[in-house]
Amino acid sequence: MNHLLLTTTARDLITSLLTRPLDDPTPPSLPPGSRTAAALRRAADSWSLAHRLAGDQLRDQLRDTARFAAHVDALDASLARSLGGAP
C-alpha cells in the first residue's frame, strides 16, 4: 500500500471508539441451581472473556492507528514548512 487517507470523520470515529467504555454485556439468567443455568453461566463467562480480549485488541489497533496518523501529520507539516508551504 502506498496511500492512506484518514478523513476527519475517520479520526473522529477512532477517538470515539477509544473513549467508549467496553463493558461486558449482562448475561442472561435462569433459575439458580439448574444445569442449564450453570452451563449458561460458564458460556457467558467464556464469552465475556473473549469480548474483553477482542476489545483490548481493538483498542490497541486504534491506538496504533491514531499514533501513526499523528506521526504522518507531523511529517506532513514539517515537509510543508521546509518547502515553504503553510504550517
CB 29 within 8 A of CB 37: yes
Whole-Å CA distances, 3 to 6, 29, 72: 10, 49, 12
DSSP state of 2: -
Residue range 21-37, pLDDT digits in tens: 877 667 666 677 777 87
CA atoms within 13 A on the CB side of 79: 6
Measured CA to CA, the distance from residue 60 to residue 75 in angstroms comes to 23
The per-residue pLDDT for 2 is 66
Per-residue pLDDT for the chain (87 aa), expressed as one digit of tens each? Answer: 567 777 888 888 888 888 888 776 676 666 777 778 778 888 888 888 888 898 889 889 999 988 988 898 888 888 888 888 655
The per-residue pLDDT for 60 is 92
Q: Cell digits for 27?
A: 448475561
